[in-house]
Structure 1
């Protein structure tokens, strides 16, 4: 999977141990130059799993550059068109091309029963996960089309799009929207040699997933270790995934080896959706 001298943008890459950082590191290992972006702001007052930190993202960028590629860290709010446009301008000024876009920025904000969910929690979840993906695609496409080299767009959805859990209606709806957007957009841009695919991680061992397990334990009144054990028992491969499991698929989808694949939604779940 040779990505030598290609340029990739990875959003939601400000938290060490997360999927975004693993994706950036994997693409760099294949030779791609990187723009890594994150909100890097204090968490909302709503119930939230936290977000990346600016200093942490800068350190990740420095580590990536030791592998021989360039890496530009940027603050971006994917829910704001102006902020996304600034990210694209900075990427083009630094590299003069964009070949790969990985829309990984996402959040679970204020999970609750629908009858008790704050309207702001619903809106913010959809804005980050669905609208943010749309805005980044819209901003990156002109550069990909003008470049005449085609491109790769990989949108991070979730198993929740296929197997929603209770109290997670906003998150599930937003991630289902990502799949539908990917399938529609793939048809629109195929003539330009641009592929669009979605990736649906299941239980991946990240800080956000650990937060989710802690929340589940609290709501259900069960010990944390028991919640984790119960969830792992539902996975045929009998383990939690790790960020590299997702990153390896993303790197393949970004490569020429996947040039005839578009409009697909790939589960990275250890078979969880089968049980």
Structure 2
């Protein structure tokens, strides 16, 4: 159950067409926000916006490549075209992950993952710093999607872990930079979340380990203290909280949505 705590807010969610991003879009809409779904997969984003609008929500889609600064810088005008006002909330969710032994990660894999996850978050936060609505009644906020892997080491995706550690560093830097303007900047760090990406992760990691398909997934879930995978809705709930006035005195922080996998 939601409480419409984001009523009349305008949000941008990058990478909002599927997985965790889709869960966030659905939660923000349920909480009363109007949402621009900014995704490289425009057809998926448009289909989701159409579905939400048919159900009485207010959503729009835009094709955005977060690794391309010029593409990100078009977001404010796309928001104005869709909703006639600037946005109050940015969720930096767009991301990619590949899997490889640490000693075999290629320059191309490194560049691809860091370009989207780290550089894309930088470009998105810079854009928001210029364009977000700073009226105090709008409770301006940025929420970036990190990962518990930013806190951990892995032999199978060190480039992904590095990119998410960069996201946490950017959150702290922009929280300090934008605090005088009343813009809060926080992060959510998901753990093992049940999305289509985990089917890919299981296949790739199981192969790298030389074990049967399904083994990586089973062993990973077994390590979670709460004994289950999380859901996109779990991540979306924390994102909505950080976006709301309920978190008005929280900035520069990270909520781990990991079932106890990481405890700080």
TM score, norm. by length of structure 1 = 0.89
1:209 alignment partner in structure 2: 198
Q: Number of aligned pairs?
A: 258
- List alignment gaps of at least 5 residues for structure 1: 41-53
1:49 alignment partner in structure 2: none
- List alignment gaps of at least 5 residues for structure 2: none
2:8 alignment partner in structure 1: 5
Q: Which residue of 128, 150, 166 maps to 1:140?
A: 128
Whether the 8 Å CA contact 1:145–1:192 is kept in 2: the answer is no
2:31 alignment partner in structure 1: 30
Q: CA deviation at 1:184?
A: 1.3
* Structure 2 SS opposite 1:273: coil
Q: CA deviation at 1:70?
A: 1.6
1:99 alignment partner in structure 2: 88
Q: CA deviation at 1:187?
A: 1.0
- Distance in 2, matches of 1:183 and 1:67, equals 37
Whether the 8 Å CA contact 1:24–1:36 is kept in 2: the answer is yes
1:50 alignment partner in structure 2: none
- Distance in 2, matches of 1:203 and 1:150, equals 30
* Structure 2 SS opposite 1:72: strand
Alpha carbon RMSD of aligned pairs, Å?
1.5
The superposition leaves residues 116-160 of structure 1 with CA deviations (integer Å, 9 ceiling, x where unpaired) of 222111111111000100101111222225555441100000011
Q: Which residue of 33, 44, 53 maps to 1:56?
A: 44
Whether the 8 Å CA contact 2:148–2:190 is kept in 1: the answer is yes
1:233 alignment partner in structure 2: 222
1:79 alignment partner in structure 2: 67
- Distance in 1, matches of 2:73 and 2:82, equals 14
Q: Which runs of 4+ in 1 moved over 3 A?
A: 145-150
Does residue 115 of the first structure (1) align with residue 103 of the second (2)? Answer: yes
TM score, norm. by length of structure 2 = 0.93
- Distance in 2, matches of 1:228 and 1:159, equals 16
Whether the 8 Å CA contact 1:97–1:147 is kept in 2: the answer is no
